[in-house]
């Protein structure tokens, strides 16, 4: 079924004909051709919904994002941009104007236009380069721009005469982070006046050129910034730490900047973990945010803190509930908070009564909600599942009835026979109940025996939910005639805080035994070919594959590990966010009290037991799990004489992002599996 990448015709014409010529299951090419919907922001009058759609262009190895507006009255949506460059971070302004970022003028700039796409104007002047995000004030007379500016000296500054030199000198940690090397720049927050639909000049740097970033790196942006209701203050989430201090701590704070006095004060003193996503209520009387209690624990319980700004009194609205919050919003009447939280292998929408603290689950079903917005008498939400990419839905707040608003990939999906997903609850080795998602091939035949894949989740504290991935796509695996076994093993949210925390300082323990329990359960099913089983995974899932390779007792015939941690000692010496390594793996391997842990939990200590083919995949720009982890594993397999292959992407990070590299990834992935399991 899978041809070499050099034989793949990279065009939309081929893709459409590929479907029409009888190919009726999901393929890597079809997967990349699906439209990727995001957003779902409701206009201030509550009548329209703004969303973005990313369409991949494989031939040019890029994506392009356009903007769409859904009219709630007519139940129709309209594309309002169609350009060769992307329109991003779109938001509603006053009078149903749309503000957005675009690269139309070669550098990223802020534009605005009418809701129908007409009367487009550039707001920021061309000299304002390197704009990474923005936040409008309520009256739209001020704007905060996130801009990268030089805040440190370089070797080129020290040695200006050595123009061809190429060197770095480091004297602190965090010199690289996730997928990029640190440089002389940091993301600063600049305040500007908007005059006659124009922004220009130097602006006011509210961080005063300090070396830290004004947003939470590496992925934080404008969602961490909010104006007060009258526009006189700016609240922002920031970790004002650099170097080793940054590497060892998750303690971010929410700060308040008063525009008139240019004074900054800390609002979250005494809150020791991540504090982020500040929200000002419509009346301006209250501030809400997400808060983790423990410094250094990136997967701690996310609570909603609600502050009365007049009295300064805080209430932890979710403290008594065994639930962790992913995203939230406050209703306009300030009586209710709506939020998304993990719930037994799915992500669902809940309501929280601010006065009483009572929580109700509003939705249920075999899907994930990934965003929510408020509209009159309803919520607008984006939803996906393992077999359905993201679309927009409405939830009636009186009846909880869910209505699908968009079906952006219907033309493609309607021609496909899709897999089916079944929920199974099995017993673990210690007698606990564990949810396992079973994904069955299209046209499943219970009288047939299928090769089967154990899917090992990353994170490690990342739920095996009803996610739709454009790389680790379980529906695509099943469409290649594999049964997929996806356990919600120990160390995942959605099953209570204890279940989530049981993996910390026990990486090679109960979570691995949970994988083996799921594998042994699958082998009892008459349609599972127990002699043709593989284990696949990335990040902690890749670690799991390496660990299983030395401890699987003949259960598997092949392995695939992407960006896995192979040697916990070398990983500790090269990773960057050390708070994670310290919390989950005790900390430095050189401390005598940690020696036994590393001996028992590092996969490289079990290589003597390796006897099974393995495909190792890694990215050269992965600084979370540096490339040497994959190289060590591949070298060990080669020296042991095992069938093995190393797939290396020099410019990819912890993920494979570029379209053509993604096709190579999928092609090699399934070619390897077919060689051992079919």
Quick: pLDDT tens for 357-415: 999 999 999 999 999 999 999 999 999 999 999 999 999 999 999 999 999 999 999 99
What pLDDT is stored for residue 496 in this prediction? 97
What pLDDT is stored for residue 377 in this prediction? 95
What pLDDT is stored for residue 209 in this prediction? 84
- Residue 279: closest CA among 293, 290, 263: 290
Give the pLDDT band of residue 8 (cuts 50, 70, 90).
very low
Q: Which of 622, 644, 653, 662 is catalytic?
A: 622
Cα–Cα distance, 103 to 85 (Å, whole number): 6
137 is known as an active-site residue? no
Report pLDDT digits (tens) over 188-204.
999 999 999 999 888 99
Give the pLDDT band of residue 130 (cuts 50, 70, 90).
confident
The answer to whether residues 357 and 400 touch, using CB atoms and an 8 Å cutoff, is no
Q: Which positions ≥6 away from 107 have C-beta within 8 Å?
A: 126, 129, 130, 131
* In the chain, domain spans: 418-677
The answer to whether residues 435 and 423 touch, using CB atoms and an 8 Å cutoff, is yes
Cα–Cα distance, 112 to 123 (Å, whole number): 7
Q: Which of 222, 517, 539, 653 is catalytic?
A: 539
- Residue 147: closest CA among 173, 176, 121, 125: 125
Report pLDDT digits (tens) over 236-247.
999 999 999 999
| Token duo for residue 261 | 């006095």
| Angle, in degrees to the nearest 10, between helices 510-523 and 540-549 | 70
What is the Cα gyration radius of the chain?
25
132 is known as an active-site residue? no
Q: Which positions ≥6 away from 73 have C-beta within 8 Å?
A: 47
539 is known as an active-site residue? yes
- Pairing outcome for strands 483-487 and 450-456: parallel
Give the pLDDT band of residue 23 (cuts 50, 70, 90).
low
- Residue 662: closest CA among 34, 84, 217, 65: 34
> No. of H helices and E strands in the chain?
14, 38
Give the pLDDT band of residue 129 (cuts 50, 70, 90).
confident
- CATH code reported for the domain at 418-677: 3.40.50.1820
Q: Which positions ≥6 away from 350 have C-beta within 8 Å?
A: 323, 338, 339, 340, 341, 359, 360, 361, 362
| Token duo for residue 144 | 């905060």
Report pLDDT digits (tens) over 499-521.
999 999 999 999 999 999 999 99
Q: Which of 321, 552, 562, 654 is catalytic?
A: 654
pTM (2 d.p.) = 0.95
Cα–Cα distance, 380 to 396 (Å, whole number): 9
The answer to whether residues 245 and 265 touch, using CB atoms and an 8 Å cutoff, is no
Distances (CA, A) of 13 to 52, 57, 407: 23, 12, 21
Report pLDDT digits (tens) over 417-435.
999 999 999 999 999 999 9
126 pLDDT more than 60: yes
Q: Cβ–Cβ contacts within 10 Å for residue 73, how many?
A: 7
297 pLDDT more than 70: yes
Question: What is the enclosing helix (H) or strand (E) of 582?
Answer: helix 578-584
Degrees to nearest 5, angle at CA 147 with 143 and 148 = 170
The answer to whether residues 34 and 409 touch, using CB atoms and an 8 Å cutoff, is yes
142 pLDDT more than 80: yes
Kindly compute the dihedral angle of the four CA atoms of residues 127, 128, 131, 137, in this order, to the nearest 10 degrees.
-150
13 pLDDT more than 60: no
- Residue 296: closest CA among 578, 504, 501, 579: 579
**Average pLDDT of the chain?**
95
């Amino acid at each position: 079924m899978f041809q070499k990448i050099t034989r793949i015709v990279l065009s939309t014409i081929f893709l459409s004909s590929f479907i029409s010529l009888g190919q009726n299951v999901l393929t890597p090419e079809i997967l990349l051709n699906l439209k990727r919907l995001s957003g779902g922001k409701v206009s201030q009058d509550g009548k329209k919904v703004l969303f973005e759609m990313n369409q991949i262009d494989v031939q040019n190895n890029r994506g392009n994002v356009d903007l769409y507006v859904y009219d709630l009255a007519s139940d129709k949506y309209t594309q309002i941009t169609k350009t060769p460059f992307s329109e991003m971070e779109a938001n509603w302004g006053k009078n149903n104007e749309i503000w957005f970022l675009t690269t139309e003028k070669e550098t990223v700039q802020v534009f605005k236009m009418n809701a129908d796409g007409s009367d487009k104007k550039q707001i920021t002047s061309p000299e304002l380069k390197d704009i990474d995000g923005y936040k409008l004030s309520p009256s739209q007379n001020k704007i905060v721009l996130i801009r990268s500016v030089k805040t440190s000296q370089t070797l080129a500054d020290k040695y200006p005469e050595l123009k061809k030199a190429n060197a770095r000198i480091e004297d602190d940690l965090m010199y690289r982070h996730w997928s990029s090397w640190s440089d002389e720049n940091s993301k600063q927050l600049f305040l500007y006046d908007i005059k006659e639909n124009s922004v220009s000049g130097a602006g006011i740097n509210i961080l005063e050129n300090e070396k830290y970033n004004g947003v939470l790196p590496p992925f934080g942006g404008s969602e961490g910034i909010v104006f007060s209701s009258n526009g006189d203050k700016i609240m922002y989430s920031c970790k004002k730490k650099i170097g080793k201090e940054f590497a060892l701590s998750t303690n971010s704070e929410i700060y308040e900047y008063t525009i008139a006095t240019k004074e900054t004060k800390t609002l979250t003193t005494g809150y020791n973990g991540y504090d982020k996503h500040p929200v000002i209520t419509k009346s301006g009387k209250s501030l809400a945010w997400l808060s983790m209690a423990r410094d250094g624990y990136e997967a701690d319980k996310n609570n909603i803190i609600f502050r009365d700004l007049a009295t300064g009194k805080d209430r932890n609205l979710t403290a008594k509930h065994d639930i962790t919050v992913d995203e939230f919003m406050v209703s306009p009447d300030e009586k209710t908070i709506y939020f998304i939280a993990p719930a037994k292998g799915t992500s669902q929408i809940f309501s929280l009564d601010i006065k009483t603290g009572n929580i109700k689950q509003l939705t249920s079903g075999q899907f994930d909600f990934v965003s929510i917005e408020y509209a009159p008498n309803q919520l607008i939400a984006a939803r996906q599942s393992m077999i359905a990419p993201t679309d927009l839905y409405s939830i009636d707040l009186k009846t909880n009835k869910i209505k699908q608003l968009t079906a952006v990939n219907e033309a493609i999906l309607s021609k496909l026979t899709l897999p089916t997903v079944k929920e199974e609850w099995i017993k673990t080795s210690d007698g606990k109940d564990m949810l396992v998602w079973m994904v069955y091939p299209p046209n499943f035949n219970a009288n047939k025996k299928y090769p089967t894949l154990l899917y090992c989740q990353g994170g490690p504290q990342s739920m095996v939910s009803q996610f739709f991935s454009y790389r680790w796509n379980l529906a695509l695996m099943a469409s290649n005639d594999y049964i997929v076994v996806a356990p919600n093993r120990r160390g995942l949210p959605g099953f209570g805080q204890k279940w989530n925390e049981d993996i910390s300082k026990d990486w090679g323990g109960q979570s691995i035994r949970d994988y083996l329990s799921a594998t042994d359960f699958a082998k009892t099913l008459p349609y599972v070919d127990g002699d043709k089983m593989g284990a696949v995974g990335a990040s902690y899932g890749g670690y799991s594959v390496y660990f299983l390779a030395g401890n699987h007792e003949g259960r598997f015939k092949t392995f695939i590990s992407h960006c896995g941690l192979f040697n916990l000692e070398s990983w500790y010496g090269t990773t960057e966010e050390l708070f994670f390594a310290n919390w989950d793996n005790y900390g430095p391997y050189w401390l005598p009290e940690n020696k036994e842990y590393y001996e028992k939990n590092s996969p490289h200590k079990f290589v003597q037991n390796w006897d099974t083919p393995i495909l190792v995949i890694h990215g050269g720009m992965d600084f979370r799990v540096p490339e040497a982890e994959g190289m060590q594993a591949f070298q060990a397999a080669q020296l042991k004489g095992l069938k093995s292959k190393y797939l290396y992407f020099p410019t990819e990070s912890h993920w494979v992002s570029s379209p053509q590299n993604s096709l190579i990834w999928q092609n090699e992935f399934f070619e390897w599996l077919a060689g051992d399991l079919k």
